[in-house]
Each structure stands twice: as structure tokens, then as C-alpha cells.
Structure 1
Amino acid sequence: MKTIFRFILPLGVLGIVTCSKNNSSSQNVIIDSSNIFMADPTMFYQDGKYYLSGTYEPDTRDGIRIFSSDNMHSFSNAGNKIVLKNGAAYGTDLYWAPQFWSNNGQANLLYTANEHIAYATSSSIDGPFSGQNKPIIADRKNIDPFLYTDDDGKKYLFHVEFPDGTNRIYTALLNDDNSGIDESSNKVSISPTERWETVMGKVTEGPTVLKHNGVYYLIYSANDFRSQSYAVGYATSTSITGPWIKYSNNPILSKENTGYSGTGHGDVFTGADNQMYYIFHTHNSDSAVTPRKTAITRMFFEKNPAGGPDILKMAIDEIFFPKVSIHN
């Protein structure tokens, strides 16, 4: 789940602000204005540019925002723009967890607003995006979209539903026009069942899916996002619809192995160097959750000495935090 944090800071200084009532801490937070405060981040490399988006914690009312740069380490205000404005498609607030992709010259966007997933399009990844004033799944709350197109061209929407207060990751066939799902195909893929997943709350969320050597990997986060133990694990399957087998040594990204609180809800991208990276967020500090900071590390596979699927690993000693010159 998410929280809201709003502030304005001058360029290049440290500001002291008070956390919102939704934060788990009530003390003042010292914020370095050079950090990028994108929770639930996503990044992709296209036409020589890196594009970074996510849940923009300074203010989730504006819409969906993108930062762009010629490298993944530093961004400037010139590459900071709102590409989906409030009112241009479904939603009025709580713009969270976007995913972008392009096909046939059209830029596409899945995102969460008002705790519902929606779809918008543009002629350019730089926007402006627009869409119909309705969500993909209207009759119940759903968040954290991730679209996976399988080898046969079928599109699957991985997303999170929580009808009973437990966040579970669901998978459903997405309609050809991305306007809805085949409800008969909608089923649970991942539930919080392991000890590391239930340290605080019963939450599995933030899905990202990729395929490697014929095996599907579903990367996900677990625990309440406010927990220092919010962490990342993965599961594998030989079918996009499961069943999914959780990796026995989860979590692979956590406070225990990184030193950072609240590591989670990220996405996979390939850089200009053809290396795979995982972009994710951390807590603002050990004592304050928000505004959450964007972080990146290299991701790779190792051969499983016991046989079975290759092991997905994070380069823990290579974590860095991309910077930006100004936020607003």
C-alpha cells in the first residue's frame, strides 16, 4: 500500500518538514532535496534516454510524472514533467505505480489512481497522455499493475487486490484494447504465506514479471510498506498463469542485506550497457518512512548448483540513489 507526502523545498538545500498523518512516524524528517522521491518506481531506456517514473511522493494529486536523463544517475529539472495530468483520464488523486510501454508508434500507460487501475495513451512517451474516465476493474479496489505479453501474444495483467484486508497478487487476461480483464481468468498467483512476508501485515504486492531460459520469474514485495522489513522476493513457474514456486532463500533484497529500511516495490530494466537493473524504493531513513527514496542496483542470474531454475540475484554492494537538481 502507499502513503501521501507533500512538501516544497528550495533548490540544493536541506529542508525540515513534518510527516503526514498517514506516516508511521510523527517526528520531523530531514530531507536532502537532491534525492528523487519516487516510490514504486519504474525505469526504461529508449532512444538514448532513461525515463524514470513512479509514485511521486511530494504530491500524488498532480498525475503521473516522468524524469528523463541521458544517464541513470543524475536528472535535472529540464527532464521533469507531468505526462498524465489530473483530469486527462481516470482519477483525481493517489496516482501510483505506473508502467509504460510502446507499440506501433503509440505510448501506453497503466497506472493506479483512487485505488483503481486505469489505462491511457499518447503519441509520445513525453506525453501528454489521455484516456477514458473509467478504471479497468471498476467494481473493486485494485492497485500495482504490471502487463506481461506472453510469447503467443496474450496479455496478462498482474495486479493486487485486497478484498479481505490481505494483499494478494492476481493474474488475469487483459482485453485486446486494454479496457478490461477477462474476469473468468482472474486468479491469485501470490499470497503472503511465508514468515518473511508477514512481519507486519499480510501483504504481497508490486509485481514484475520476466522470462529467463524458459522460466517465468515473478518478483514481488511483501509486508506493509511502512515496515522496515518491507522486502523483495521472487517466485518461478513454467507457465505464466502458475503455479508459482517461491524461492527458498527469499527475500533477496531487504534491510538485513542492504542496510536500508523498507526496500521494495520495484521494476526491472535494461540499461544502455545491456545489463539488467532493478529499481526500487527505500524508506527516507530508519526513523521515517516517507518520502521514500528511489534506488537502483544491478540484477543478474547465477546457475543453480542444485539444478532447477537459475537463481536471481541483486548486486547488493552496487546500490545507488539517482539524484535530481530540483523537485518542483
Structure 2
Amino acid sequence: MLKQYLFGLLVIFLVGSCAKKSATPPKVKGQDTVAVVKKQMYQADPTVFYHGGTYYLYGTNDVNADIGFLVYTSKDMKNWTIPPGTKNGYALINGDSYGTAGFWAPQVFYANNKFYMAYTANENIAIAQSDSPVGPFVQTVKQALPATAKQIDPFVFFDTDGKAYLYHVRLQNGNRIYVAELNEDYTGIKANTLTECITAVTNSQPWEKTAGASVTEGPTVIKRNGLYYLFYSANDFRSVDYAVGYAVSSSPLGPWVKYTGNPIISKANLKYNGPGHGDLFTDANGNFNYVLHVHNSATVVIPRKTAIVSGKFTANGAGADKFEIDPATFKQLTYTDK
């Protein structure tokens, strides 16, 4: 009887022990890692620069536009992070170059073995440089490009003959898009080439002035099959009708013919208010994408949310090709802190 009793106690102990083990399985390596939290990206007037297998995204900081420009990086355009090596995430920061307030609408380009950032500050345009696309972008001499009017929204385009052109917005009689050839060291324009490109009209393009303001802005330019395509936004950015169209020319200086099917990006096809002021770029596979901002919500404008949508050119008979976006590819961007 004693043996049977002891044997029973042993069985009960072993069963209880196994039950405890099955209730607390062994830990897996990394199991205690804190879950990655993705945050909404709030960058207005965004631009994407692709270099060395990495996408770099910059924009206007709607939370505080007087600090400078944040930079986000990604290898796949899906997973974005703020990279190390920056000044608290900033590629350009107030004090390192021209400007004390209103840091808006940056664009980064590569030339002469340097990275350059064209940007707006104090309603003037300046160009800073860096050894890295994450910055710091600085100026030895902190100055804006000489101009006879206030100017914003720079976009530097290099033609196939090597000439560089500055597309930008001049604040005179509304917001009007101009172009001029840059000089060789990017410190100014060749004044005799300054030409008006785009202004808002109501007769042929009524979508451009539904809010009443005469605004065309946010230029970005590409060259395709010998023709130049200028993408731009119109209306006040606070309007739900802020949208994107394009125009075509056989010369970087114009004249420009607006596409009759404008706008190509609007609340009608994206279902979000105020989509616009972005940058057309090609990804690693040669596909076209347009990075842009949209309003914060159906009732609130700022801080504006960053998003990307894909698009493509199709043959349109004689002359210019037709550009269309695919609304199904639209996605708002998020990021994680490293």
C-alpha cells in the first residue's frame, strides 16, 4: 500500500509539473522586443530624391516650419525612418544657411560630386550644399538668390545638354510659375532668360480658380521623348479644390500648353481634400510616382499628411503623351523612429 501511495504522489507531482511547463512555454529570442509603432508622416510640399538605392523624402514641416527640413529614408518606399547622422532628424536646420523663418518646399539634386538643396525661406529661394543627402546642408555665405520679387517653390531641372533651369513661383499678381537658366555655380539666374510659364486662368482651366485666388505653384519638370512636362498645383492650398495639372512644351522656357484633361489629381479621384504640391519621380524600377500632401481631415487642413500615388504615360496619338494616376495605388505614408 505504501508503495502504491508514494507512486500516486509521484504521478500527481509529474502531471502538475508538466501542466506548469505547458502553461509557460520557453521564451523565444526577441520576444520581449517592444512593438514597432508607425507614426503618420506630416510633410507638406514633399519631394523624393533617389540615390544609391535609397529614397530620401523632404518637405515642409507643418508643425514648425521655422526649424528647417526633416529627412526620411526608405529602401522600398513603404518603410520610412528618420536616419542617423542628422541633427535631430533635420537635414537642414535654421542657422546653418540662409533664412530665419518659413522653411518651405525643398528639393535635393546631385551635381559636381555634391548634394544641393534648393528651398524657400523668408519668401526667398536659397541653395545649400552637403556631402550627404541626409545633410547637414549648409552655406558658407548665408544668402538667397538675387531677385526683384519674392519667390518660393524652387525646382531645379537639368536638361540633356547640361544646362540647369530654376522653375519657381514669383509672388506678383498672385502666384505665377517662372523659369530661368541658373548660372554655373547655382548662386543666381541668368536674368535675360527669366520667363513666365504658368498662371491661373478661368476660361480654359476653370478648376484653377475655384477658390478665387490666382495661384499656380509647386512646379516639377521632366523631359520625355523630346518634350517637357511641367506638373503644377492650382488654387489656394487651404481649398478642398487644391489639385494638380500639367502642361507641355517643346522648350524648357515654353510656351506651355495645358493638358485639356486637367486636373489629373484632385479630390474627385483621390477622395481626399486638397491633394497637391508634390514631386514626380521614378522609382528603382523606372515607374512614375507622385509624392504629395493632402489635408489633415475633411474639416482640418494642417498639419497636412504625406502620401504617394503611382502614375504612367500612355501614347495619345500625335504629340504629347497622356499622364494618368492610378487612384488604387494611393497610400498615406508612415514612419518609425530608429
Match of 2:188 in 1: 180
C-alpha distance in structure 2 between counterparts of 1:167 and 1:12, whole Å: 42
> What is the alpha-carbon distance in structure 2 between the residues aligned to residue 99 and residue 208 of structure 1?
10
- The higher-RCO structure (CA 8 Å, 6+ apart) is 1
Instruction: Find the partner of 2:92 among 73, 84, 98.
Output: 84
Question: How far does the alpha carbon of each residue in 1:103-147 deviate from its partner, in whole angstroms, 9 at most, with x for none?
Answer: 232111100011110011111112111112211134421000011
Candidates 152, 157, 177, aligned match of 1:143? 152
Greater fraction of residues in helix: 2
Q: Does 1:278 align with 2:290?
A: yes
1:164-179 to structure 2, matched below 5 A, reads 164=173, 166-179=174-187
The worse-fitting range, judged by mean Cα deviation, of 58-67 and 131-140 is 131-140
RMSD: 1.8
Task: Give the conservation status (yes or no) of the 8 Å contact 1:12–1:34.
Answer: no
1:52-99 Cα offsets, whole Å, 9 max, x none, are 101011211111221112221222344672111111110011111111
**How far apart in 1 are the matches of 2:146 and 2:334?**
35
Q: 1:156 aligns with which of 161, 165, 179?
A: 165
Partner residue in 2 for 1:116: 124
In structure 1, what is the Cα distance between the partners aligned to 2:261 and 2:182? Answer: 32
Aligned counterpart for 2:206 among listed residues 172, 182, 195? 195
Within a 5 Å distance, the mapping from 1:5-84 to structure 2 comes to 34-78=39-83, 81-84=89-92
- 1:304-315 to 2 correspondence within 5 Å? 304-305=316-317, 307-315=318-326
Instruction: Tell me which amino acid in the other structure corresponds to 2:52.
Output: D
Q: 1:255 to 1:40 in 2, by over 3 A?
A: same
**Which SS does the other structure have where 1:296 is aligned?**
strand
Q: Which amino acid aligns with 2:155?
A: F
- Per-residue displacement from partner, 1:245-287 (whole Å, max 9, x unpaired)? 0000100000011101001001012212221111011001110
Query: Aligned in 2, Cα 1:77/1:145: closer, same or farther, shift over 3 Å?
Result: closer
Q: Does 1:234 align with 2:243?
A: no
Deviation at 1:289, TM superposition (A): 0.5
Whether the 8 Å CA contact 2:109–2:156 is kept in 1: the answer is no
Cα shift at 1:153 = 1.6
Gaps of 5+ in 2: 1-34
CA distance, structure 2, for counterparts of residue 134 and residue 188 of structure 1: 24
Q: TM-score with structure 1 length normalisation? A: 0.86
What residue identity is the alignment partner of 1:218?
Answer: L
Write out the 4+ residue segments of structure 1 that deviate beyond 3 Å after TM superposition: 77-80
SS in 2 for 1:218: strand
- What residue ranges of structure 1 are gaps of 5+ in the alignment? 1-10, 14-32
Q: Report sequence identity in percent.
A: 45
Go from structure 1 to structure 2 and tell me whether the alpha carbon gap of 1:77 and 1:215 turns closer, same or farther (over 3 Å shift).
closer
> Quick one: distance in 2 between partners of 1:109 and 1:78?
17
- 2-side partners of 1:67 and 1:152: how far apart? 32
Report if aligned partners of 1:40, 1:206 keep a CA contact under 8 Å in 2: yes
| 2:15 match | none
Provide the residue aligned with 1:134 in structure 2: 143
In 2, Cα distance between equivalents of 1:62 and 1:140: 24
CA distance in 1, matches of 2:179, 2:53: 33
Aligned to 1:319: 330
Counterpart Cα distance in 1 of 2:53 and 2:251: 34
Q: Per-residue deviation at 1:12? A: 8.8
Corresponding position of 2:309: 297
Q: Deviations over 1:216-267 (max 9, x none)?
A: 1000000000000000000001111111000001000000111010010010
TM-score, length-scaled by structure 2 = 0.84
Aligned partners of 1:151 and 1:276: how far apart in 2?
19
